[in-house]
A and B are shown apart, each in its own frame.
Chain A
Amino acid sequence: MDAVLDNLATFRQGFVTTLALTVVSSVLALALGTLLAAMRVSPVPTLRAAGATYVEVVRNTPLTVVFFFAVFVLPQLDIRLSFFVFAVIAVTVYHAAFFCEAVRSGINAVGVGQAEAARSIGLTFTQSLRLVVLPQAFRTVVPPLINVVIALTKNTSIAAAFGVVELTAVTTRLANANGDAVLAIFCGSALCYLVLTLPSGFLAGRLERRVAVAR
């Protein structure tokens, strides 16, 4: 227990990095995922195919492999970024596929009549999606979206193996430095992850009740 309390500053440093990685990646992945979902329901076959290909390729690749490509293959193309940015890229690219499918399921849940009505009053495809369909779609998929956010939070731990000093890296470091308190340190680390993920769950519950569509 002392080992945890003595190293609170180190834990905090890892915690902040994990939080930053989670927030930045979640926002970017949700944006990219929504774009992909729009592509997958668009009337243009090429866009539909591109969206579907992206989702199938990325969703079926292990995240570690995605990380490997981001961190070791991009530099060979002369893309030089910090390891944190590479981690953001990997986590974003991977989870965008999951966000896309969650959002798409929401779009499919909106009655066809809504889209038809939007088009018949003269809105373009983009307008009808943005102003009529998506606002309703998001309301129905709050739980799956939060699911992806929670998975993303925990998946950021893979960044520890790719040069980012986040919570898991800090945990490994402390566990090695304090051979007499390994279990206490891992429990402390688990607690930190809960501090990140549990509020997401509560928030999801509240948000769901507030925005639920009465049907």
Chain B
Amino acid sequence: MRARRTTGLLGVALALTLALAACGGGDDDGGGGGNVNQGASFPEGTTMARLKSAGKVTVGTKFDQPLFGLKNLQGKPEGFDVEIAKLIAGEMGIAADNITWVESVSANREPFIQQGKVDFVVATYTINDKRKQVVDFAGPYYEAGQDIMVAKGNPEAIKGPEDLAGKKVCSVTGSTPAENIRTNYPEADLTEFDVYSKCAEALKNGQVQAVTTDNVILLGLVSQDQESFELVNNPFTKEPYGIGLKKGDTQFRNFINDTLEKIEQDGRWQKAWDDTAGKVATEKPTPPTIDRY
């Protein structure tokens, strides 16, 4: 009897300590990240309830994408995707420090989601029908477009994809923009590397005349070397970036969609953009309409 009462008291004490600690965490998280919604409560059995009670979440993002998901020298990723992920985690009552970041390159995003290695993926992830067959998408939270980067001064006078005919153009193996060039502009001579930084190097060397991919990625490359590169600034596709999650988890998808609408309305979306990609981008984007398919 006595022993049980002691355990009960200990339990209360522990609960109080945890609650205080949680409050403390909330206060600390002032800037950058997105505030933590302590009062969030979710129906039993949902992904949100599970993550909230665990107090942590695993997010897949890119580690090599300037402005969207780039690992800094302290080993923490930063960028627009990272900020969006922090805001979503915050709405579930999870502080930014309790997010485990997992590098998700283009080829392993679907397997990571299917195998449950990550809870969701925010990684410049274009929504398309083939991908929808194996994962579900919330969003889009941003709409990029394929554009072209050329050497400073545009010596080849490339104004759009039609001008790429007979020119060497570089992109990343298997990426959506590379496939687009292959299918729709077959006269262009496509060279593929594994990362865009090598494309940039090849452009600097004159081994290729253009680099093509989503405009925001090119912006990141231009921002790193404005002496050598410039953007044609004539996007010719629409690439809606979505948040990938396990197929069939409709409640989680609805929650993320609601969260995205909320942060778009209360200005946190805009702040996340201004703090990251907005530093280089010339135009202010408007958030695209959420697609609740």
Contact = CB atoms under 8 A, between A and B. Distances in A.
Nearest to B244: A179
A163 B179 contact: no
A176 B193 CA distance: 14
Nearest to B128: A179
B5 interface: no
Interface in A150-173: 160-163, 165, 169, 172-173
Nearest to A80: B207
Interface string A50-86: 0000000000000000000001100110001001000
Interface in B57-115: 106-111
A161 B207 contact: no
**Best-surrounded residue of A72, A165, A179 (most CB of chain B within 10 A):** A179
B205 A76 contact: yes
**Interface majority SS (helix, strand, loop, mixed), chain A:** helix
A174 B130 contact: no
A163 B192 contact: yes
A71 B111 CA distance: 32
B205 A72 contact: yes
A177 B205 contact: no
Contacts of A83: 191, 207
Interface stretch (B20-28, B43-51, B131-139, B215-223): B131-139
B262 interface: no
B198 A169 contact: no
B107 A161 contact: no
Contacts of A180: 110, 130-131, 133-134
Given A161-B193, A161-B194, A178-B130, A173 B111 contact: no
Contact of B134 (A162, A173, A177, A179): A179
Contact of A163 (B109, B111, B131, B191): B191
Contact of A176 (B107, B133, B201): B107
A31 to B, nearest CB: 28
A75 B175 CA distance: 26
B201 A182 contact: no
User: Which range contains the number of B residues in contact with the other chain?
Assistant: 20 to 34
A175 interface: yes
A176 B191 contact: no
A182 B174 contact: no
B175 A169 contact: no
Nearest to A169: B173
A183 interface: yes
Contacts of A72: 198, 201-202, 205
A176 B175 contact: yes
Contacts of B134: 179-180
Interface of B: 106-111, 130-131, 133-135, 170, 173-176, 178-179, 191-195, 198, 201-202, 205-207
Given A163-B170, A173-B178, A177-B174, 11 more contacts: A83-B207, A160-B194, A162-B198, A163-B198, A169-B173, A173-B192, A176-B173, A177-B130, A179-B109, A179-B134, A180-B133
29 contacts: A72-B198, A72-B205, A75-B206, A76-B205, A80-B207, A83-B207, A162-B198, A163-B191, A163-B193, A163-B198, A165-B192, A169-B192, A172-B107, A172-B174, A173-B174, A173-B179, A173-B192, A175-B107, A176-B107, A176-B173, A176-B179, A177-B130, A179-B110, A179-B134, A180-B110, A180-B130, A180-B133, A182-B111, A183-B111
Shortest 10 CB-CB distances between A and B: which pairs? Answer: A176-B174, A173-B174, A161-B194, A179-B131, A172-B174, A179-B110, A180-B134, A75-B205, A172-B173, A180-B133
Interface of A: 71-72, 75-76, 80, 83, 160-163, 165, 169, 172-180, 182-183
